[in-house]
Structure 1
Amino acid sequence: MSATTPVGTAKGPGEKPHEYVFISPDHDQAIKQGEYVYYEVPIDGQERHVIGRVVGRTPVRLLPDAFLSDPQVAPDAVADLIGYEGGGHEIFEVVVAIMGYFDQTLKTFVNPRIPPRSGWPIYLVPSEILARVLNRCTPGEQGSAHIGWLLSRPKGEVPIALAAKEFLSTHLAIIASTGSGKSYLAGVIIEELLKPTNKACMLIVDPHGEYETLDHIMARQEFWGGPNPSSYRPKVKVLHPDKVTIRHSALSLSDLHYLLEVPERQEFLLNEAYRKVSSGEKRNRWTFADLVEEITRIAEQRGERDKLDYSSSAAALGWRIDRLLHSSRSFHESRHLGLAEIFEPGQCTVLDLSEIDKREQQVIVSVLLRHLYEARVETEHGRSQDGDNKYLPYPAFVLLEEAHHFAPGGEGTSVVSSKILKQILAEGRKFGVGIGLISQRPGKLDADVLSQCMTQCIMRIVNPVDQANVASAVESVGRDLLDELPALSKGQVIVAGPSLNTPVLAQVRERLTPHGGQDIDAPREWDAYFSEQAVQRRQEEATFYQPQRPVDRMFRPTD
């Protein structure tokens, strides 16, 4: 047996087959919910440490209530005064869920199905062992993403590092209520992916303009691969709305239907005109003007053939296209945001969509994801070469903020971006396309989409509907951990999935770059309005820009 001091003594089996119960006075208050303990058992001639997680804690003996009745007198003083011989006073019954011993060959936990016998000592798992068995990689090595430390241990004692290879291929979800720190955690993961140990090729879809501060990465030496200018230097490219343009001919027929909201009477005109322009001489460079011209021509031809007047439908459809052309800056005759501009190893591209209509955001994401997936498929199958539009010779990762806008759940809520998103989540692993979803309302996110993200980072969630959706979509997290969701503080996260060896409760580390998702401090800004400098500035502006008084034309009687 180990010389380590036991923290308790095994009592017997728990209510469930994989649980056991032990008794402990817990003098040092070390046995927290979610803490890790072990017992020793010989297996195949070796002494194995069978590790388990604390999932419940109930007092079985406390001080008598009478000792607690006077808040001015310490209960221990009362006990000593009357000669109470309770000794230790408090005793707890602790429930543990067995994980198993860690097999170094298999790199996983193996449950031996041998619970501890009554009277066996129970030990606290040393931090150095936890750091080794909880993580699939260590911080600083290639493919690691150090996000924080184990919450039940002192700061930094048990670092938590995700295996980037796993969540980049089997997808990632960050789910939390507003203000719980989901965007902050996303920033931490992005920082890790852009370090020299990963050199990621990634795109961030940013509907609210929260990720611009990531450009500080380029100036920080923590992200450099060496002292020489020729060494690795990450790039962060922020594309503001005026730089986000999609060429007309890059739009699919589904994109056009979604943008134009075409009535059923006009569908056949749009469908036939689209097939003509997309298969003709200008198939890769047709414009809305070409489409309108083709619609008019088809309406005339069909009218002569069917002896019907389709001119009003053609005019109405043309008006819809013209309205889109003049109301949107996102679609252009020739300018197009190509894959080569967005994706490159060691580069994070932030797509700022903050000033773009939500339907247009969904179409933009649909087009870019479709082109990315097609390029990776064509490249992996050897059907495209360097210089082709559909050539991308390296894996890519796309992080979608406000994911419920791009794949909403519920009947009748499908949007144009849902189909390609589901396809990538189901098949992207084979072609090196990874997806990360961030959402504050899992109840509004498509359940199939959420369930396809194998690595889940779940932060504070209070809404019962959202809790139920997370519980049904996330299979690898135990009920005991999910019960913690309403009580989590800002920056605390449950992480589960193949990126770790077992689900953990962690504290997110501090970011190296400023966080851009801060709320506006309204009282401070109101107060600043009355500052001496602000008042003086307004007075100076009033001096130079005196408004001209209107002429008083009211009739006034004379004396």
Structure 2
Amino acid sequence: MQIVGVTTQQEVYVASKDRKFRINEILVIEDSVLGNPKGEVVETLSYNRLIPMGLDKSMVDTEVIRSLEQIGYDIGSDEVNVAKMRLFSEAPHPVRTGCEVRCPQFEEVRHLLVKTTPEEGLILGEIRGTESLGESVDTDLKERLHLLEEGEILPQRGVPFLFDIQAMHQYPHIGVFGGSGSGKSFGLRVMLEELMKLSIPTLVFDPHFEMQFGQKNQELAQEAISFEDRWLSVQVGKEVGIRFSDLSTRDVIDLIGAAGGNLSESMVNVIQSLHRRRDSYPSFSDRLNNVAQAIEEGAQGLKRRLKEEDLTPTDVQRIKDLMDLHQQYGTLPLASVKGVQWRLSRLDKAGLFQQDIVPIEQGLEQGRLVVVQGASWVLQVFSTYVIGALYRKRRDYQDARMNGEEGTFFPPFITVTDEAHNFAPKGVESPPKRILKEIAQEGRKYGSFLILATQRPTLLDETITAQLNTKCVFRTVRGTDIATLREETDLTAEEGKRLPYLRSGDTFISSAIFGRTVLVRIRASYTHSPHVSNPFDELKRFKAERDERVLQLIDQRLPLFDTDLLDMVGCIKRECGLDWDVDRLKQELDRWVAEGKIIKEESPFTTRYDRVRSGG
């Protein structure tokens, strides 16, 4: 392997007659004057005698061709392999053309590839292009992972990618980006498994009900550790909720705003006028309903009611209380009061005020991963409260320490959410966005970090995106998203072109911790998502199971005549729970006849269904 063509301080061309280059592999240039610089292959191609060199629009120019001829390549007959190589560090002057190039030993490049130990870092996958280093990899880095390739579990071949979680204190927050089917959710699952291995308190908002860690990957069962006591799943409205009496007026405004879109100024005024410190949900809801009734009936209507006969003392007191409320709040717009009423009722129906966040607090204090599940809109409302409450607890403890006081300990924690553009949308204010923005900008000082995943990075708030010091970029097709990622990372033009064609599970990791972009193959996960089965396989399985149940029932009553079908429909409904009518049963019977499972005999008087005769 030799340097050919025109060289610069940043890029060189390497040629070889007998060795094909791998994209992203590391090579060493034997130029002692420059200290044997190292670089990464960013583009590669091969030529043979059937392809005239230089006539295409590839990276090879006339200077490269001329230098190939000068150092002895027979361009007319030899196969020529050419690679563009980018140096890791800019050289003080261009590399000398003709220098030999070789593959490195692992000890020469360990400092470029490994930033921490397997015990202290997150083992996310294998660095692409390091397969040639597999034999010389240090013992502590061997047999650390398996890869999933074309549905087959394969052993580690190259250098594992270790993410230095300790460095997040200096370079906080992670973004995970990729289109549907790119492996984004799979990569997020592996990240969460690694956080559980290190017992790092993590809060996950899961709108898709897929972050479950109870189903083990059976092919890795012997190597996978058990996560049974390391994670906890809770559902909003069942195990967790919001203690209404803990809410400030500002919190109530945020929650009600999140329940049905941004609030108008008059709605905000209604909440500020009616909410009292330490209000319970019933007390605030009753006050809101009473004010709505008082405004709706009006002062004159209430006075007329007071003059009615047969009023009990309780009725009189009730009307007088409504008159007092009308006098105090009669200027509030009825539409705004009813708007707040509707939103508050929607939150209550979702079960949001029936529990508290104690299970989440306890889980984080135990170093667990806590998965909060619920509908997307419910999670947006709930996250506004719970992230703010936990972040304040952590910040209060840190502030107390800084002031030399003894505060109540609350651990540092990581907040994770999928569909992050729904929680912190670009150009639109939303309650969760305010607290996420604050953590993105100041959380590092208090030990609070973010991992945000989304299919649409263009729709994520720009301030938050800019604070994500590590970005994992999976396959992305949209031009606007690719442009956004190019702006926010050090992805090169060549890497940007590769984004739409990345295999599922391959990701460019652009990290300030590494100082460059690394292509990584995410390792095989130790657990399965509950949605891992193919829906079309599920359809076949369901149909086969249903057919088997019904056919067993019918077999007991064969032969079956037209006159028996109505009774048979009733029996199927009772025994199998299927709400079929006679026409549907006939269609299914004809299908089973076509499949050879039963036979059908027709006469001028009746149709008969019976068992398949042996030998017939």
TM-score of the superposed pair, with normalisation by structure 2 = 0.69
Structure 1 residues 9 and 337, CA gap change in structure 2 (3 angstroms)? same
For residue 311 of structure 1, report the CA deviation from its aligned partner: 7.7
User: Which residue identity is paired with 1:120?
Assistant: C
In 1, are the aligned partners of 2:573 and 2:580 still within 8 Å (CA)?
A: no
For residue 304 of structure 1, report the CA deviation from its aligned partner: 3.6
1:287 to 2:249 alignment: no
Partner SS, residue 513 of structure 1: coil
For residue 167 of structure 1, report the CA deviation from its aligned partner: 4.0
Which residue number corresponds to residue 502 of structure 1?
516
Aligned partner (choices 46, 54, 58) of residue 41 of structure 2: 54
1:368 to 2:396 alignment: no
Partner SS, residue 331 of structure 1: coil
1:253 to 2:275 alignment: no
Structure 1 residues 121 and 434, CA gap change in structure 2 (3 angstroms)? same
Structure 1 residues 400 and 537, CA gap change in structure 2 (3 angstroms)? farther
For residue 247 of structure 1, report the CA deviation from its aligned partner: 1.9
1:312 to 2:334 alignment: yes
1:133-187 deviation per Cα after TM superposition (whole angstroms, max 9, x unaligned): 212013x222x11111122233432211111123476011111111111111111
1:243-297 deviation per Cα after TM superposition (whole angstroms, max 9, x unaligned): 23112233442222332554444432212222xx12xxxx2x5325335416856
Which residue number corresponds to residue 314 of structure 2?
none
For residue 55 of structure 1, report the CA deviation from its aligned partner: 2.1
In 2, Cα distance between equivalents of 1:186 and 1:537: 45
1:474-521 deviation per Cα after TM superposition (whole angstroms, max 9, x unaligned): 2x3333322221121011111121343532111111111223442642
Structure 1 residues 338 and 141, CA gap change in structure 2 (3 angstroms)? closer
TM-score of the superposed pair, with normalisation by structure 1 = 0.76
Which residue number corresponds to residue 80 of structure 1?
none
Partner SS, residue 36 of structure 2: strand
Which residue number corresponds to residue 15 of structure 2?
23
1:331-380 deviation per Cα after TM superposition (whole angstroms, max 9, x unaligned): 23x64446523413431111112xx2x33221111111111211111001
Q: Identify which range, 416-425 or 257-266, moves more after superposition.
A: 257-266
1:193-219 deviation per Cα after TM superposition (whole angstroms, max 9, x unaligned): 222xx22111111101001135759x9
List aligned pairs for 1:487-498, cutoff 5 A: 487-498=501-512
1:141 to 2:119 alignment: yes
In 1, Cα distance between equivalents of 2:508 and 2:51: 37
Which residue number corresponds to residue 96 of structure 2?
117
Q: Identify which range, 534-543 or 261-270, moves more after superposition.
A: 534-543
1:244 to 2:240 alignment: yes
In 2, Cα distance between equivalents of 1:369 and 1:221: 37
1:427 to 2:416 alignment: no
In 2, are the aligned partners of 1:176 and 1:458 still within 8 Å (CA)?
A: yes
Partner SS, residue 41 of structure 2: strand
In 2, are the aligned partners of 1:180 and 1:489 still within 8 Å (CA)?
A: yes
Greater CA radius of gyration, 1 or 2? 2
More helix by share: 2
Partner SS, residue 148 of structure 1: strand
Partner SS, residue 29 of structure 2: strand
User: Which residue identity is paired with 2:39?
Assistant: G
Structure 1 residues 222 and 434, CA gap change in structure 2 (3 angstroms)? farther
Which residue number corresponds to residue 271 of structure 2?
270
1:65-110 deviation per Cα after TM superposition (whole angstroms, max 9, x unaligned): 69xxxxxxxxxxxxxxxxx97686122443221113xxxxxxxxxx
Q: CA RMSD in A?
A: 3.7
In 1, are the aligned partners of 2:240 and 2:356 still within 8 Å (CA)?
A: no
Structure 2 gap segments, 5+ residues each: 53-72, 132-155, 296-322, 555-570, 582-616
1:530-552 deviation per Cα after TM superposition (whole angstroms, max 9, x unaligned): 34534357767535479899xxx
In 2, Cα distance between equivalents of 1:525 and 1:86: 57
In 1, Cα distance between equivalents of 2:449 and 2:122: 15
Partner SS, residue 503 of structure 2: coil
In 1, Cα distance between equivalents of 2:86 and 2:48: 25
1:205 to 2:219 alignment: no
In 2, Cα distance between equivalents of 1:265 and 1:534: 60
Structure 1 residues 167 and 174, CA gap change in structure 2 (3 angstroms)? farther
Q: Identify which range, 492-501 or 395-404, moves more after superposition.
A: 492-501
Aligned partner (choices 377, 401, 411) of residue 418 of structure 2: 401
User: Which residue identity is paired with 2:119?
Assistant: E
Aligned partner (choices 413, 417, 433) of residue 418 of structure 1: 433
In 1, Cα distance between equivalents of 2:578 and 2:208: 37
In 1, are the aligned partners of 2:3 and 2:12 still within 8 Å (CA)?
A: no
In 1, Cα distance between equivalents of 2:31 and 2:75: 33
Structure 1 gap segments, 5+ residues each: 1-6, 67-83, 101-110, 226-231, 550-559
In 2, are the aligned partners of 1:163 and 1:500 still within 8 Å (CA)?
A: no
In 1, Cα distance between equivalents of 2:542 and 2:215: 28
List aligned pairs for 1:88-103, cutoff 5 A: 89-100=78-89
In 1, are the aligned partners of 2:213 and 2:529 still within 8 Å (CA)?
A: yes
User: Which residue identity is paired with 1:90?
Assistant: E
Aligned residues: 480
User: Which residue identity is paired with 1:487?
Assistant: Y
User: Which residue identity is paired with 1:290?
Assistant: F
Partner SS, residue 204 of structure 2: strand
How high is the sequence identity, in percent, across the aligned residues?
A: 19
List aligned pairs for 1:174-185, cutoff 5 A: 174-185=176-187
